[in-house]
Amino acid sequence: MSPVVKIQDLHKIYESGEVPVHAVRGVSLEIQRGEFIALMGASGSGKSTLMNMLGCLDRPTRGTYELDGINIDDLDRNELADLRNQKLGFVFQGFNLLARTTALENVELPMLYGRHRKVSMEKIRERAMHCLEIVGLANRFDHFPNQLSGGQQQRVAIARGLVNEPQVLLADEPTGNLDSKTSVEVMGVFQKLNDQGITIVMVTHELDIAKYCKRNLILRDGVVVRDELVADRTIAEEEMQRIKAAEAAAKLTHQAKPGA
């Protein structure tokens, strides 16, 4: 099968400042369907620049990018926006949910644009509800973001990223604002989605989070310096059981103490 992402000798030079910044310097990469990739590297190594190009939010200075067989060079601004809407889902570090809007309405939003304009509100609602079910939050559909924990907000954001049935889910530091237990929970959602066949590319600078993925790419100064399969992946469900057992043990110890 053809790769869902194929980039060749991709470069990005920012010309806006006094001196041009050569942020991505010749990256070539193929991503097959069903992959789960962590993009890693120090701050300033070009991760966000590369993600913005993968996400069709920015165009490369040179090199080619084919998304699901479509060369983005052939597309104008509007066509590129449509392609982004159809093929890609996005998850951000800061969740980016609308505050005065329920979980369900937040998930519906990406369907209100582009090719879904002709779809009935009932169908949109049904699809959004289904995505909330996938992330285990159907029972919170009418909650507002401030009535949800950080992990729950990120799960709503993941549901929103899924609602247009994307080919690839792109996530920039999705666990960056979460504590470690909640991060495990969110990685569990990603692993479940990936098991169902969704391709995921996520940026992280945490090594233990990257171990939940199947493949790790390390960038340095705009170049891929390492590209390797994860040898012994961490499985979120197992990790969660370990955490719960440790919590239960801590409680027992606490209760056993005289006077505690």
Q: Kindly tell me which residue out of 37, 40, 45, 67 binds ligand ADP, with binding defined by CB under 6 A.
A: 45
Q: Which is nearer to ligand ADP, 129 or 223 (CB)?
A: 223
Is residue 57 at the binding interface for ligand ADP, with CB under 6 A as the rule? no
Report whether 56 contacts 76 (CB < 8 A).
Answer: no
Q: Which is nearer to Mg ion, 43 or 139 (CB)?
A: 43
Candidate ranges 17-25, 94-102, 144-152, 187-195; the one touching ligand ADP (CB under 6 A): 17-25
Q: Kindly tell me which residue out of 16, 78, 139, 146 binds ligand ADP, with binding defined by CB under 6 A.
A: 16
Q: Which does 43 bind (CB under 5 to 8 A by kind): Mg ion, ligand ADP, none?
A: ligand ADP
Q: Give the 3-state DSSP-derived string for 165-204, with helices as H, strands as E and coil as C.
A: CCCEEEEECCCCCCCHHHHHHHHHHHHHHHHCCCEEEEEC
Is residue 55 at the binding interface for ligand ADP, with CB under 6 A as the rule? no
Candidate ranges 37-45, 59-67, 230-238, 242-250; the one touching ligand ADP (CB under 6 A): 37-45
Tokens 């913005």 belong to residue: 52
Is residue 140 at the binding interface for ligand ADP, with CB under 6 A as the rule? no
Q: Kindly tell me which residue out of 6, 47, 87, 160 binds ligand ADP, with binding defined by CB under 6 A.
A: 47
Residue 123 in tokens: 């169908």
Q: Give the 3-state DSSP-derived string for the chain, with helices as H, strands as E and coil as C.
A: CCCCEEEEEEEEEECCCCCCEEEEEEEEEEECCCCEEEEECCCCCCHHHHHHHHCCCCCCCEEEEEECCEEHHHCCHHHHHHHHHHHEEEEECCCCCCCCCCHHHHHHHHHHCHHHCCCCHHHHHHHHHHHHHHCCCHHHCCCCHHHCCHHHHHHHHHHHHHCCCCCEEEEECCCCCCCHHHHHHHHHHHHHHHHCCCEEEEECCCHHHHCCCCEEEEEECCEEEEEEECCCCCCHHHHHHHHHHHHHHHHHHHHHCCCC
Q: Which is nearer to ligand ADP, 22 or 192 (CB)?
A: 22
Q: How far is the CB of 90 from Mg ion (least distance, A)?
A: 14
Candidate ranges 47-55, 100-108, 179-187, 191-199; the one touching Mg ion (CB under 5 A): 47-55
Residue 4 in tokens: 């869902």
Is residue 204 at the binding interface for Mg ion, with CB under 5 A as the rule? no
Q: Kindly tell me which residue out of 48, 85, 152, 175 binds Mg ion, with binding defined by CB under 5 A.
A: 48
Is residue 164 at the binding interface for ligand ADP, with CB under 6 A as the rule? no
Is residue 60 at the binding interface for ligand ADP, with CB under 6 A as the rule? no
Q: Kindly tell me which residue out of 6, 10, 38, 41 binds ligand ADP, with binding defined by CB under 6 A.
A: 41
Q: Which residues bind Mg ion (CB under 5 A)?
A: 47-48
Q: Which residues bind ligand ADP (CB under 6 A)?
A: 14, 16-17, 21, 23, 41, 43-49
